[in-house]
Amino acid sequence: MGTPRSISPGSIIPPPMAHTAILPASAMAVRPQAVVQPEWTPIPGSASLAAAAPDGSLWVLSDGPSGPDKYIWHYASGSWANISGMASQISVAPDGTLFAVNSAGGIYRYSDGVWTGIAGGASGVTAAADGSFYVLSNGNALGRDQAIWHNVGGAWSQVTGEGVAIAASFDTGAYTLSGGTISPGGFYVLNSQGSIYYENGDESFAQLPGAASTVAPTTIGGLFALSYPATSAGNAISYSDLKTQNPSAEPASATSISSNGGKVYRVDAAGAISFATVTSTPITEYQIPTNDSTPSQIAAGPDGNMWFTEGTSSKIGRITPSGAFIEFSLPQSSGPYGIAAGSDGNMWIAENGDGRIGEMTMGGSLTQYALPVQNSAPFQIAAGADGNLWFTENSANKIGKITTGGSITEYAIPAPGNPSPVGIAEGPDGNIWFTEQFASQIAKITPSGEITEYPTPTKDAFPTGITAGPDGDLWFVETFGNKIGKITTSGVTTEYSLAAVNAQPLGIAAGPDGNLWFTESGGRVNNIGKITTAGTITEYPIPTGDASPYGIAAGPGGNVWFVEQIRSKIGKITP
């Protein structure tokens, strides 16, 4: 970044802060008409700029009066309070002190109901984690890059760099990026081209990918940003996890955004104010060596590694807990889909493309067993308590059983038409349970082959993945029903609706933490979900956008692993 020459702000006498009459709280008892997504909670009121405080409260500049300087409001414990004064920029320090800049360049500190003018001239301000503050000078025209000055204990010093917007970070974490290192105590700088930099305390820089018109740092290793250039109609919101450096699009837009760590606040083009809860994304991603391999299912192996299928490239992949890969090639027509560990210490594979069941040793040696019916499309596979492997035949509408010696038995599904079995899992009752997509049924098959079917309460639910839960019930996902289902071994079903529209859950697994974990692959949702046995749902965004997560399974070290079909990655989430 460049460093312009600039006059010390300390040599400039501050203009007076405007003295305005205190407005009643009813002035903010408005709710502008705006589209609010389910994950955003509206706050009554109208604003032009938001500044979140570390104590969980919110400061805003209202959208009035006309002109660059606006009334200042504070929202705490569900109530608004106006304070005398007007400003064009505000920022909140860790101790709650409010800093403000007005259009004349005046810099002010507000604490215990008193404004204190600070000698200097500025166009922007941000309070730092250590109680000091930084400003952008106002020596250049609006929209041009300005010099950056630091005020510590009343003393000014110019620091390296220039920009049009600054935002201090209160995050105590350190992160290594491709464009440099981020250390605690620094601040973000945006220049007039939208480039995003982080300036450390030693005045070294890290450049972040992309461009932004505004940024809002969190305290959990993430950064919200508004797209560049700024528009009065609002800008798209994105979120970057600094651990993975992968930005993901948020289903919302804003003209102003700010975070206090626990929440992110936004102001939209209509002036409406809303917030969303910020949660840490404990997800690590690993790029599969073969691109566009379309991984589908994943399972823990007896060797302490995770094994997964790569349908497009006809490979079986293995990833260690630390993220090292090995891939084993299958015949090109095999199209592997489902995978499970067998009682014999090998991995068993449902080869959807060539209608075979594969057996692979830990060293990658493959044995294949052809199914009696061609084009039966074996889909998913699971180990049973009887020592056999059980699998769904999606096109043949059968449930198959194969011994570890390769002997195959098939059982026709009673449902008429094309029930299309998909997910399969061993139940706590000693039976095998499976889902029927097109029939919208959950079914069980005894070791002797007797099948019982239970319709889902939601019509056209399209159930896919299923797993045994820690509570003795079976849990399944309803891809089109947009729900998580639970069924007792006697056939009583309970459903839990997902908040995100068109989440399209696909896979589900019991986690080591006593909860159920599932994938949400729908368009802009792109989450890993967690549901407790009581039905409480939490969602975690995947750092890579449009990942299309599918298969999911518990693995070593208390982690949960999943595959990303579109991005050809393996994800690991730490509960």
Three-class secondary structure assignment of 499-543: CCCCCCEEEEEECCCCCEEEEECCCCCCEEEEECCCCCEEEEECC
Number of other residues whose CB lies within 10 A of the CB of residue 70: 22
Residue 273 and residue 254: Cα distance in Å, rounded?
Answer: 9
Residue 479 and residue 234: Cα distance in Å, rounded?
Answer: 32
Residue 87 and residue 137: Cα distance in Å, rounded?
Answer: 16
pLDDT of residue 36: 47
pLDDT of residue 97: 95
Render 43-59 in DSSP notation, one character per residue. Answer: EEEE-SEEEE-TTS-EE
pLDDT of residue 430: 95
Residue 194 and residue 375: Cα distance in Å, rounded?
Answer: 54
pLDDT of residue 38: 57
SS3 state at 556: helix
pLDDT of residue 35: 45
pLDDT of residue 249: 80
pLDDT of residue 574: 85
Q: Which two tokens stand for residue 437?
A: 């997509």
With CA atoms as reference, report the closest residue to 30 among 276, 232, 275, 273: 273
Residue 347, Cα to own-chain centre: how many angstroms?
31
Please compute, for residue 454, the number of CA atoms within 13 A of its CA located in the half-sphere on the CB side: 20
Number of other residues whose CB lies within 10 A of the CB of residue 230: 17
Sheet strand arrangement including 441-445 = 421-426, 432-436, 441-445, 451-455
Q: Which two tokens stand for residue 192?
A: 């007039």
Q: Which two tokens stand for residue 136?
A: 């952008």
Residue 318 and residue 364: Cα distance in Å, rounded?
Answer: 10
Residue 445 and residue 522: Cα distance in Å, rounded?
Answer: 31
pLDDT of residue 6: 72
Q: Which two tokens stand for residue 575?
A: 């509960």
With CA atoms as reference, report the closest residue to 139 among 109, 166, 164: 164
Amino acid (one-letter) located at 310: E
User: Contact at 8 Å (CB) between 558 and 565?
Assistant: no
pTM over 0.85: no
φ/ψ bin of 521: left (φ > 0), alpha (ψ from -120 to 50), beta (otherwise): alpha
Q: Output DSSP code: residue 9.
A: G
Q: What is the 3-state secondary structure (H, E, C) of 483-498?
A: EEEEECCCCCEEEEEC
Residue 199 and residue 1: Cα distance in Å, rounded?
Answer: 10
Residue 573 and residue 575: Cα distance in Å, rounded?
Answer: 6
Amino acid (one-letter) located at 70: K
Phi, psi (deg, nearest 5) at residue 571 = -110, 150
Q: Which two tokens stand for residue 480?
A: 């089109």
Residue 157 and residue 213: Cα distance in Å, rounded?
Answer: 26
Q: pLDDT tens for residues 93-107?
A: 999 999 999 999 999
Extended strands (E) in 384-447: 389-393, 398-402, 408-412, 421-426, 432-436, 441-445
With CA atoms as reference, report the closest residue to 543 among 561, 557, 564: 564
Query: CA 27, 33, 35, 40: dihedral to nearest 10 degrees?
Result: 20
The CA-to-CA distance between both ends of the chain, in Å, stands at 40
Residue 487 and residue 466: Cα distance in Å, rounded?
Answer: 10
Query: Going by DSSP bridges, is the β-strand pair 165-168/146-152 parallel, antiparallel, or unpaired?
Result: unpaired
SS3 state at 482: coil
pLDDT of residue 261: 74
Length in residues, the chain:
575
pLDDT in tens, the chain (575 residues): 567 677 667 666 767 788 889 988 888 876 654 444 557 889 999 999 999 998 889 999 999 999 999 999 999 989 999 999 999 999 999 999 999 999 999 999 999 999 999 988 899 999 999 999 999 998 888 889 999 999 999 999 999 999 999 999 998 888 888 889 999 999 999 999 999 999 999 999 999 988 999 999 998 888 999 999 999 999 999 988 887 666 778 878 999 999 987 789 999 999 999 998 876 657 889 999 999 999 999 999 999 999 999 999 999 999 999 899 999 999 999 999 999 999 999 999 999 999 999 999 999 999 999 999 888 999 999 999 999 999 999 999 999 999 999 999 999 999 999 999 999 999 999 999 999 999 999 999 999 999 999 999 999 999 999 999 999 999 999 999 999 999 999 999 999 999 878 899 999 999 999 999 999 998 667 889 999 999 999 888 887 878 999 999 999 989 999 999 999 999 999 87
